[in-house]
């Protein structure tokens, strides 16, 4: 048994102060009780741990490296960035992927993420050949999560084409499943690999409408386990939408809605460029959009129509995608401020019941983020669930001088990572006073980067 004493924990109804949380040996909460200040050493304010609902771990190796832009007349956009990403993808070995992902997952923990959905498509060797163990690269990601100490939902991605009606490009050879059966064999291998780590599970993933034959998309959606999440990139780029219309006569979300029984277990990543009818289709189905504001801004994707989406009671979560940013509070702020700039209103997340932006944003990103991982848990902290938390320092002047009613918005809008005390996963401190117990993580990452010679 372990006991944690917090100056406050954030619950769905707001802050509960002076709380003692007891967990069993497996990190499961057994009691949540208010306690006497004279008998407990209370420390920090605990938020529920954040879910990173969209990650490409290997891309962390190129964070910050795509900003030396060409001065030629040709536009520098997502598609030119993608060429740089492909060059990196062709060179990473399994051990290097493990080192990169371990470093990334440690940084996620340091910033308050306790669970990551790994949208993984780097399946084969540098020549595009299958490894003897089909899930070799997936096992490296699971190992990285285990070393760092983060929960992981592994999403082996189905990827078979180079675009609408196009064969796969040579640079995509490591991603490709040549048939539906090949993908299902890969998925089953990943399920077996996930058994090696108690904090791992597996979800389905389709890279995008342009990357998989339509008949195989519908086939996968028909055979997938009903409650298992399915993640897919959709409508991130205007060019993608134009090509989808030219190929199918329909926009991407329109096609999905007409051919797939969308429900709450579908997670549409980015969905940047939607029209009103598509917003209605997603909302009516109860599907979730996964927004990655720092990456979407970095790539120049555009701004998701959040205000219209929220007016339809749309559900959203956050991810960090290419990891140009890894702080969940920053993701929420970028999402919010982008909307303020185009709506000229400051009440982005507010609804008819509340104008408490911070509380609403936390609840949406948390509950829908958990759904993205295959977890149906709506309460922030509850008996019978694991203790996963980001703990904010209580001794910083901004927090010390803050009333209870303003505390969550102060944290969401005015706190930076220097004010994070630590992160708890499954009842264990994985980060404490900003430090991880395993110092070799940094050293292994630096060695790998020096060997790759990309930085």
pLDDT digits (tens, 9 = 90+) for 56-93: 999 999 998 878 777 776 667 776 777 778 888 899 99
Residues identified as active-site: 270, 321
| Phi, psi values for residue 356, rounded to 5° | -85, 85
| Phi, psi values for residue 385, rounded to 5° | -110, 160
| Residues whose CB is less than 8 angstroms from the CB of residue 282 and which lie 6 or more positions away in sequence, other chains included | 253, 257, 262, 268, 271, 274, 289, 309, 314
pLDDT digits (tens, 9 = 90+) for 240-284: 999 999 999 999 999 999 999 999 999 999 999 999 999 999 999
| pLDDT category of residue 289 using cuts at 50, 70 and 90 | very high
pLDDT digits (tens, 9 = 90+) for 25-55: 999 999 999 988 777 888 899 999 999 999 9
Look up residue 356 and give its two tokens: 């408490």
Look up residue 147 and give its two tokens: 């070393």
Spatial separation of the C-alpha atoms in residues 434 and 384, rounded to whole Å: 28
**Cβ atoms within 10 Å of 186's Cβ, excluding its own:** 20
Q: What does the radius of gyration of the chain's CA atoms come to, in whole angstroms? A: 22
In the chain, what percentage of residues exceed pLDDT 90?
Answer: 89
Average pLDDT of every residue of the chain = 95
230-234 and 200-202: which strand pairing? unpaired
Q: Are 58 and 85 a contacting pair, CB within 8 Å?
A: no
Phi-psi sector, 431: left (phi>0), alpha (psi -120 to 50), beta:
beta
Domain annotation for the chain: domains and CATH numbers:
2-48+381-440 (2.30.40.10), 50-372 (3.20.20.140)
- Which residues lie across from 115 on neighbouring strands? 51, 151
| pLDDT category of residue 455 using cuts at 50, 70 and 90 | confident
Instruction: Specify the pTM.
Output: 0.96
Spatial separation of the C-alpha atoms in residues 49 and 149, rounded to whole Å: 13
Q: Are 123 and 92 a contacting pair, CB within 8 Å?
A: no
Burial class (CB in 10 A: 0-12, 13-18, 19+), 331: buried
Spatial separation of the C-alpha atoms in residues 227 and 261, rounded to whole Å: 13
pLDDT digits (tens, 9 = 90+) for 335-382: 999 999 999 999 999 876 788 999 999 999 999 999 999 999 999 999
């Amino acid at each position: 048994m372990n006991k944690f004493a917090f100056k406050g924990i954030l619950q769905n109804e707001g802050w509960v102060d002076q709380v003692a949380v007891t967990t069993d040996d497996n990190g499961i909460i057994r009691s949540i009780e208010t306690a006497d200040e004279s008998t407990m050493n209370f420390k920090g304010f605990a938020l529920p741990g954040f879910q990173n609902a969209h990650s490409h771990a290997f891309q962390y190796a190129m964070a910050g490296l795509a900003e030396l832009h060409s001065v030629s007349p040709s536009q520098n956009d997502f598609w030119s960035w993608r060429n740089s990403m492909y060059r990196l993808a062709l060179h990473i070995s399994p051990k290097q992927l493990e080192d990169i992902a371990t470093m990334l997952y440690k940084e996620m923990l340091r910033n308050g993420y306790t669970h990551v959905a790994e949208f993984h498509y780097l399946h084969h060797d540098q020549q595009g050949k299958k490894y003897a163990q089909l899930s070799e690269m997936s096992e490296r990601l699971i190992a990285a999560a285990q070393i760092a100490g983060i929960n992981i939902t592994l999403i082996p991605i189905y990827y078979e084409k180079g675009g609408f009606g196009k064969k796969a490009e040579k640079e995509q050879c490591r991603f490709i499943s040549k048939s539906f059966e090949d993908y299902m064999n890969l998925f089953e291998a990943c399920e077996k690999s996930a058994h090696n780590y108690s904090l791992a599970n597996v979800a389905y993933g389709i890279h995008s409408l342009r990357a998989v034959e339509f008949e195989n998309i519908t086939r996968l959606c028909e055979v997938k386990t009903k409650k298992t999440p399915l993640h897919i990139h959709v409508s991130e780029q205007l060019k993608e939408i134009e090509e989808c219309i030219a190929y199918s006569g329909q926009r991407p979300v329109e096609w999905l809605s007409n051919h797939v029984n969308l429900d709450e277990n579908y997670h549409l990543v980015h969905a940047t460029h939607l029209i009103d009818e598509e917003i209605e289709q997603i909302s009516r189905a109860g599907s979730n959009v996964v927004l990655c504001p720092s990456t979407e801004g970095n790539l120049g994707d555009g701004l998701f129509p959040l205000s219209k989406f929220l007016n339809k009671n749309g559900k959203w979560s956050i991810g960090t995608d290419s990891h140009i940013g890894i702080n969940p509070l920053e993701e929420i702020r970028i999402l919010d401020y982008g909307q303020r700039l185009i709506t000229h209103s400051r009440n982005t997340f507010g609804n008819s019941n509340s104008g408490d932006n911070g509380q609403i944003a936390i609840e949406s990103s948390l509950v829908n983020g958990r759904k993205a991982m295959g977890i149906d848990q709506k309460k922030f902290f509850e008996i019978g669930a694991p203790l996963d938390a980001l703990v904010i320092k209580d001794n910083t002047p901004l927090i010390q001088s803050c009333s209870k009613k303003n505390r969550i918005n102060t944290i969401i809008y005015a706190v930076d990572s220097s004010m994070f005390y630590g992160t708890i996963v499954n009842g264990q401190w994985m980060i404490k006073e900003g430090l991880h117990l395993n110092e070799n993580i940094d050293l292994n990452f630096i060695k790998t980067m020096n060997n790759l010679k990309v930085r």
